[in-house]
Amino acid sequence: MGLAVVNATLDGVAVGLRCEGGEIVAVGPQVEPEPGDQVIDGSRKALVPGLVNGHTHAAMTLFRGFADDLPLMEWLTDHIWPVEKRMDDEDVYWGTRLACIEMIRTGTTCFWDMYWHAHATARAVEDAGVRAVTAAPLIDDSDPTKSERACADAERSLDKIAEAGGELARPGFAPHAIYSLSERSLRWVAERAGELALPVQIHLSETEDEVKACEDEHGERPAFYLDRVGMLGPYTVLAHGCWLDHAELELIAERGATVVTNPVANLKLAVGRVFPYCDARDVGIEVGLGTDGPGSNNSLDLLSDAKTFALLQKNEARDPAAVTATESLAIATGRRSGLLGGRGVVLGAPADFLLVGVDDPELSLGTLDAGLVYAASGSIIDTTVVAGRVLMRGGVVEGADEVVARARERAAGLGLMR
Ligand SMILES: [Zn+2]
């Protein structure tokens, strides 16, 4: 018994689709449901691949509206980190559950997460039904004497994620940034990630200060430093990359790492430079799109951010053709990075897909891709399916009210609600 979608369109062609075991096992004009299938009527609906949010801190939904409008380091050190020290598993669980409701509503089927108590993130992801790569941040304040303990904590976190996770939550490493970690810890992560074949996510070149500090301390720019400690490879996600220069882009392309750009968070924190996407594309870098945390975006609506991404890059290039809607959507669905792994709605791919109404006003004229990226936002999504399970139908996610109430309780308990 599986899930079948009938009468939908895919790339303008009327198709049927069947999923079994979490995978798309048939898709095409002749595909019909089999006996016992759960059947979704896709009449007047289009199939769209699920969105892949390449960088976020999901549980930070609890921080929405708290300490907004501050510079990055002041925001982190004076406001966020002190509260995070008080957070427990249940805070992270309900903050993540709230994020998952929002992501399901706005079409995100997979996200890459970096947050404390990552095993609670994994449990939330399994209960919500979406996919995620979950990782606890590793920070040792660039103090080698704290490195051993930080690495031991990271190792323990991996075990706890493995216990809490199932088919949907995958573990990874999340060294926070080159400015918050000693070289010893960075080297340890690179080595362990290689041994365990796990992905790594790290913030890189978000601000100009980070670049200057790296040059002062290590005599080289951030991507070269990261390469020297062994962390630049095809298993690495580099979040931000705003201040990367051309030589760094060439190195990243050569090593096969993925850059995940977070245009809205970068704009809100006013980092002063846009990720040089067109240059990165020209040298062959794999790219994804992220929202960054809901404490610093503050939205998890990746489709809206796909529009911002396209507009920013067009303006930066002074060329309206620099990034098309189709390209922006390919990036937002993880199809421009092997590591992010978006494969689209094709035979053998994970059964992670969306249905949108082709008669919705925003999608009723013009091409679907342009409608999705330029005219609509995430609220246009009608149906969200992950691993062949229907998580939203007709815009309704079951159990959302309870999750909102519980998240409010946790935020109040942390003193984050006015
Ligand atoms: Zn981040």
pLDDT per position as a tens digit, 224-265: 999 999 999 999 999 999 999 999 999 999 999 999 999 999
Confidence label for 323 from pLDDT (cuts 50, 70 and 90):
very high
Distance 409 CA to ligand 1 centre (A): 25
Write down the pLDDT at residue 418: 63
Q: Is the pLDDT of residue 66 over 90?
A: no
pLDDT of residue 72: 80
pLDDT digits (tens, 9 = 90+) for 388-418: 999 999 999 999 999 999 999 999 999 987 6
Report how far residue 196's alpha carbon sits from residue 138's, in angstroms, rounded to the nearest whole number.
17
- Phi, psi (5° rounding) for residue 181? -135, 145
Mean pLDDT of 185-195: 98
CA of 206 to the centre of ligand 1 (A): 9
pTM of the model: 0.97
pLDDT tens across 200-231, in order? 999 999 999 999 999 999 999 999 999 999 99
Give the pLDDT of residue 56.
98
What separation in Å is there between the alpha carbon of 57 and the centre of ligand 1?
6
Tell me: cis bond preceding 298? Omega within 30 of 0 counts. Answer: yes
Q: Percentage of the chain with pLDDT > 70? A: 100
Both tokens of residue 193?
């990630």
C-alpha of residue 297 to centroid of ligand 1, in Å: 10
Give residue 334 CA to ligand 1 midpoint distance, Å. 18
| CA 93 centroid distance within chain | 17
User: Measured in angstroms, how far is the CA atom of residue 337 from the centroid of ligand 1?
Assistant: 19
Read off the pLDDT band of 45 (50, 70, 90): very high
How many A from CA of 254 to the centre of ligand 1? Answer: 24
Compute the distance between CA of residue 56 and CA of residue 289 in angstroms, rounded to an integer. Answer: 10
How many Å lie between the centroid of ligand 1 and the Cα of residue 224? Answer: 21
Predicted pLDDT at 290? 98
Check residue 68 and give its pLDDT.
85
CA of 264 to the centre of ligand 1 (A): 12
Kindly give the distance from the C-alpha atom of residue 56 to the centroid of ligand 1, in angstroms, as a whole number.
Answer: 6
Angstrom distance (rounded) from CA 133 to CA 330: 20
Distance (Å) from CA 110 to ligand 1 centroid: 16
Q: How far is the CA of 292 from the centre of ligand 1 (A)?
A: 5
CA-CA distance, 307 to 324, in Å (whole number)?
Answer: 10
Instruction: Name the token pair of 80.
Output: 């966020």
Give me the long-range contacts of 404-413 (CB less than 8 A, separation at least 24). 404/98, 404/101, 406/94, 406/97, 407/61, 407/62, 407/94, 407/95, 407/97, 407/98, 409/94, 410/62, 410/90, 410/91, 410/94, 410/95, 411/62, 411/95, 413/91
Distance 174 CA to ligand 1 centre (A): 10
Q: What is the pLDDT of residues 119-176, one digit of tens each?
A: 999 999 999 999 999 999 999 999 999 999 999 999 999 999 999 978 999 999 999 9
When mean pLDDT is compared across 64-78, 125-139, 314-328, 351-365, the lowest value belongs to 64-78
CB 21 within 8 A of CB 345: no
Burial class (CB within 10 angstroms; exposed 0-12, middle 13-18, buried 19+) of 84 = buried
Is 45 in a helix, a strand, or coil?
strand
- 65 pLDDT tier (thresholds 50, 70, 90): confident
